[in-house]
Amino acid sequence: MDLYEHQARGLFEEHGIPVPRAEVTDSPEGARESARRLGGRVVVKAQVKTGGRGKAGGVRLAEDPAAAELTARQILGMNIKGHTVGKVMLARPVDIEAEFYISYVLDRAAGRFLAIASAEGGTEIEEVAAARPEAVSRIPVDPAVGVTSAKAQEIAEAAGLPPQTVDVLVRLWQVLVREDALLVEVNPLVRTRQGQILALDGKVTLDDNARFRQARWGDEEEEYDDSLEAAAAARGLNYVKLDGEVGIIGNGAGLVMSTLDVVAGCGARPANFLDIGGGASAQVMADGLAVILSDPAVKSVFVNVFGGITACDAVADGIVQALDTVRLTKPLVVRLDGNNAARGRAVLDAYAHPLVQQVTTMDGAARRSAQLANTS
């Protein structure tokens, strides 16, 4: 369960992590009043559960309350990576001297948490790690011991963070433990020219298995979330939005993960993770296609199915019936293999939809999907 930025910010404040003054509103008029209370000049930030808001125009500076109202009017209703902006947060701007990155994330494979920190905050940490991997420190954290002052000092020294961040590192760990989080992130954590340490932006992902302990987020989380992920969840789909252009549908989490890697290796970016499991019925396929095709970033769709308990001809029947109810607007590449694969391919050949292409191998289908996405 991902929290909105303003919710993460509220958690930080509860746990003693300093944040700038801010207010949240869902109307332009409310933005004007919030800006007035905050001193006039404010940063207006779209509240959506995705990154890249600044690049999409969802984070803007407003010089006065009137400008804040106009800016909020422009941002509210925006679509940012499939997420519609329903609220904005207005925060006092700060005079930044330096920006840092800190986070704790669950390392499932190692059975522990990982502290990730860098003295180069303010941009996506993946970009920093790719360009200058030595600038990002990764320090294992034993969950039985946690982040003590000594451990926080170790993390800060490894990443080249100033001593003032040690207390924030300890308190951020407290957020993770007490709120049942799988991820807590501050980017950027800044030092102002006055020497103050502030968390300007935050991301928190709570463990769904701990919802019974974190009931306060239950209703608010979906209050104004009409994102693609919310639409998929309403249909019972196992869907995760990604930043790419090739829509992915597969049966089985392992196969879908492999498909993401193969598509990426062909020079395209997966637009989503969608596992339809063993029940590739017409309705499930129609629901999956409806969600993926509603993503404006998708340029092609790759259906990758290995027939087992659910045979490939049943999957093909599901695709045909789904396309009778869902208008296909992007090229669809289908790879069927396994149980009754030949019959399934024959079903699609007979249907002869002009936007449906079949490729017999996973690598070949991935290459074709990437080509179609990169040329459309």
Active site residues: 101, 185
Q: Which two tokens stand for residue 364?
A: 């070949």
Distance CA 49, CA 233 (A): 15
Phi, psi of 361 (to 5 degrees): -110, 155
Angle of the 5-14 helix axis to the 165-178 helix axis, nearest 10: 110
CA distances from 156 to 168, 169, 319 (A): 10, 8, 53
CB 290 within 8 A of CB 324: no
Backbone angles phi, psi at 316, to 5 degrees: -60, -40
Whether omega before 65 lies within 30 degrees of 0, making that bond cis, reads no
Short-list 167, 10, 32, 50, CA closest to 102: 167
Q: Are 273 and 256 in contact (CB under 8 A)?
A: yes
